[in-house]
Amino acid sequence: MLAVVPTGPGEVGLAEVDEVQPGPDELVIEVAAFSVNRGETFQLETDRPGWRPGKDIAGTIIQGGPRVVAHLPHSGWAERVVVPAHQTAVLPDAISFEQAAALPLAGLTAVRLLRTAGSILGRRVLLTGASGGVGHYVTELAAAAGAEVTAVVSSPERGARLLELGAETLAYDVADATGPFDLVLESVGGRSLPAALTKLRAGGTLIWFGQASREASTLDFFDFFKGPEAAVIKHFHYDSEPADGPDLATLVRLVATGRLHPELGRIEHWTTTGAVLDDLRDRRIRGNAVLTLGREHQ
């Protein structure tokens, strides 16, 4: 079968790989679409012998099984994948494979990030790196949960959809966001994190869930006295649950009932995966990027 394989640091190509061999309790899924995430572009930069990328897929369980969405640890960008049933959720007909493929990593992160935050009803929330896959989900879910969301994006075009999804306002630089905020959701690192921190109210919380800039942050103890005295910084990793099926089912239910709208900033055929990864790295994609299998010209 064909699969996307690493071909060099940050590079990928299509190649023949061994057919999947399901273990006990594993399903074989014929993949129809997958999505690519910034974290996976980071993984592709290191040499991992035998490893193939791919966490988010949607497709059909072979031999007449249902349409499903699945979250895998790796090897998902392929014609077929094996996955334990508890890492899947069944799709209603109304949800396309493209929409479903955009759900797992970014959607699970958004759901669990907001769960970590606790009640945000009536709270002021500052979200950095908001124009990406995670950012669109967080914005819509946080606004629906009653938060007043300020989304940090690089341009009005990259924030327009966030306003439609419920963001109260946009900021084009963290330093320009009007605080104080009860909660900061920080995913850019570098100079963004310390700047966002100073926007917190005293005793507020910053949840640190990414470093899209690839730059470490430097914190100054004395900056905390300028507002966020006694603030809490929580490190976050989305991979905290024993199984992803229940939260995937929640995401599917929210989409099916019109309460969550995957933002498909790019849909391409999977033969162009390398170019799409370059665009994702270079901030040329809003929301999620989805690659489809099947015939190229239909």
CA distance 76 to 70: 9
Closest residue to ligand NAP, Cβ-based? 132
Binding residue for ligand NAP, selected from 55, 158, 161, 199, defined by CB under 6 A: 158
Amino acid letter, 17: V
Q: Which is nearer to ligand NAP, 153 or 206 (CB)?
A: 153
The whole-angstrom separation of Cα 198 and Cα 229 is 9
Examine residue 283 and tell whether it contacts ligand NAP (CB under 6 A).
yes
Check binding of 81 to ligand NAP (CB under 6 A).
no
Name the 3-class secondary structure at 253.
Answer: helix
- For position 181 contacting ligand NAP by CB under 6 A, the verdict is no
- When binding is defined by CB under 6 A, the residue of 34, 77, 97, 238 that contacts ligand NAP is 238
Secondary structure (DSSP) of 91-106: PPTTS-HHHHHTSHHH
| From 37-45, 51-59, 96-104, 176-184, span contacting ligand NAP (CB under 6 A) | 37-45
Q: Which of 153, 207, 251, 260 binds ligand NAP (CB under 6 A)?
A: 153
Number of helices (H), then strands (E), belonging to the chain: the values are 8, 15
Selected from 35, 87, 88, 187, the binder of ligand NAP by CB under 6 A is 187
Question: Which tokens sit at 67?
Answer: 């349409």
Gyration radius from the chain CA atoms: 19
Tokens of 252: 């599917």
165 binds ligand NAP (CB under 6 A): no
Question: Is 296 exposed, middle or buried (CB count within 10 Å of its CB: 0-12, 13-18, 19+)?
Answer: exposed
Of 32 and 207, CB closest to ligand NAP = 207
Rounded Cα gap, residues 187 and 21, in angstroms: 37
Among 59, 210, 228, 262, binds ligand NAP (CB under 6 A): 210
In terms of CB distance, is 141 or 212 closer to ligand NAP? 212
Interaction residues for ligand NAP, span 83-142 (CB under 6 A): 105-106, 109, 129, 131-135
DSSP secondary structure letter of residue 287: B
- In 3-state terms the chain splits into helix, strand, coil percentages (rounded to 5) of 30, 30, 40
What is the nearest approach in angstroms of ligand NAP to the Cβ of residue 133? 4
Q: Which tokens is 3 given?
A: 């699969």
Residues in a beta bridge with 80:
30
CB of 160 closer than 8 Å to CB of 184: no
Residue from 46, 119, 154, 178 in contact with ligand NAP (CB under 6 A):
154
Q: How far is the CB of 117 from ligand NAP (least distance, A)?
A: 13
Q: Which of 10, 22, 26, 39: binder of ligand NAP (CB under 6 A)?
A: 39
Please give the size of the binding site for ligand NAP, defined by CB under 6 A: 27
Cis peptide before 180 (omega within 30 of 0): yes
Given a contact cutoff of 8 angstroms between Cβ atoms, the answer to whether 103 and 255 are in contact is: yes
150 binds ligand NAP (CB under 6 A): no
Is 236 an interacting residue with respect to ligand NAP (CB under 6 A)?
yes
Binding region for ligand NAP (CB under 6 A): 37-39, 105-106, 109, 129, 131-135, 153-154, 158, 187-188, 209-213, 236-238, 280, 283
